[in-house]
Amino acid sequence: MADYLLIVPIFLAIAVGWMLGRRDRNRQPLTAQANLSRDYFNGLDYLLSERTDEAIESFIKVLEINSDTIPAHLALAKLFRRKGDVDQAIKLHQNLLARPDLNRKDFLRIQMALARDYTAVGLLDRAENLLLEINRQNPPRETRANALRLLIKLYEKEGEWGDALDTGNILSADERADIKHELAHYSCEIAEGFISRKKYKKAQQALKQALQYDPASVRASLLQGRVALLNEQWKTAIKYFRMVAEQDQAFVSETVEPLRECYQSLGREAEFREYLEQMALAAPSTTVMLALSELVRQERGVYAAGFFVTEELKKRPSIKGFNRLIDMHIEYGSTSAKESLVILRGLTGQLEQTKPVYRCNSCGFNSRSLQWHCPSCRNWGTTKPIQGIEGE
């Protein structure tokens, strides 16, 4: 049905071209006129019968006779690409580029379409060369920006983060406003490479650039905190980890354990407790609640901690919180009850281990590890910790 709806505007474009072509009928042989009419009406018949493939073939024959329908050619090629027949789309675009009567605007449009074809079938080198050629032709601003954006996505596919950033920087601030989120992630990818090689200064430079692209980049703040923590720069790490709550409260749970390490290293546990209490009100999560319960346990014992968790679970139930409560009852409870609780804990523990921890808010893809680039919908930064009874 989608193909049928797409081919309707193609039919209209061909109809206009066919009508315009009638002006030259007196200069065409009668056989050519007959073939034009027959192919056109055959295509119309196929279209009305929802025989999309046959309709396309008939309309292509019409277009080969009538050279005034470049938009219809491009629409047909787009339809081929959407149907998965990219080779046919490439053939159409290459035939169009061979025409001697193309104006500059149409020539650039066809080159852009052909670059998309090459990208779709994985001919990335050809696509890259074609997009670079388009930009060497000093195209109009909009065409140039579209070509550069397509080139950026191509470099993303190849994992060429530096080339993607260099290309993004060619765009003006206004032109890259809608991709600054992606550019920040490219910088983070570069930073993670430096961190893995213990080149922390270069990692910090890349992360500083990421925050310039996108000041709300949670990933950049988490990585800045990680780099500072690895270098035992506790105060700097605290600054970046606490920034996360201002950027996106859904990620506060990711900061609890590293912040615990930082505050303990500084001997400032009271400040850590104050932070947790603030987050329990501003961004409640099971991770924050359990961190507070551990502090209660250290101060007043396991019974008080269990009572605290019980009260919190009444307000915000979760599997993870329930499992921790069972652990406390096993530790504090009578010997006769422990055996049953251990069996129960084994069952609920398996349940927790089988549940995903993160979910993409764009496509719903679930995982147990944080994927900044969703492997399903390929969007950046749409995956977050799951909230509710099965998550935070």
- Could you read off the pLDDT of 100-144 as tens digits, one per residue? 778 888 889 889 999 999 998 889 999 999 999 999 999 999 999
Q: 179-277: same fold as 2-158?
A: yes
* Residue 155 confidence (pLDDT): 96
Topology classification of domain 2-158: 1.25.40
Place of tokens 């390929």: 378
Measured distance CA(127)–CA(380) in Å, rounded: 23
* Residue 139 confidence (pLDDT): 93
> Which strand ranges, in their side-by-side order, compose the sheet holding 366-367?
366-367, 358-360, 383-385
State the chain's mean pLDDT as an integer. Answer: 84
Residue 33 pLDDT > 80: no
Measured distance CA(251)–CA(25) in Å, rounded: 69
Q: Are 241 and 253 in contact (CB under 8 A)?
A: no
Question: Which residues neighbour 162 within 8 Å (Cβ) at sequence distance 6 or greater?
Answer: 190
Can you name the residues that pair with 383 across neighbouring β-strands? 360
User: Stretch 319-338: mean pLDDT, rounded?
Assistant: 80
Output the CATH code of domain 179-277.
1.25.40.10
Reported confidence tier of residue 55, pLDDT bands at 50, 70, 90: low
pLDDT in tens, 267-308: 999 999 999 999 999 999 999 999 999 999 999 999 899 999
Q: Look up residue 76 and give its amino acid.
A: L
* 3-class secondary-structure state, position 377: coil
Out of 40-49, 70-79, 198-207, 314-323, the most confident range is 198-207
Which pTM value belongs to this model?
A: 0.80
pLDDT in tens, 227-244: 999 999 999 999 999 999
Task: Compare 58 and 364 and report the one with higher pLDDT.
Answer: 364
Domain extent listing, the chain: 2-158, 179-277, 284-354, 356-392
Measured distance CA(270)–CA(129) in Å, rounded: 59
User: Stretch 251-261: mean pLDDT, rounded?
Assistant: 97
Reported confidence tier of residue 69, pLDDT bands at 50, 70, 90: low
pLDDT in tens, 137-192: 999 999 999 999 999 999 999 999 999 999 999 999 899 899 999 999 999 999 99
| 261-265, 334-338, 362-366, 378-382, range with the lowest pLDDT | 334-338
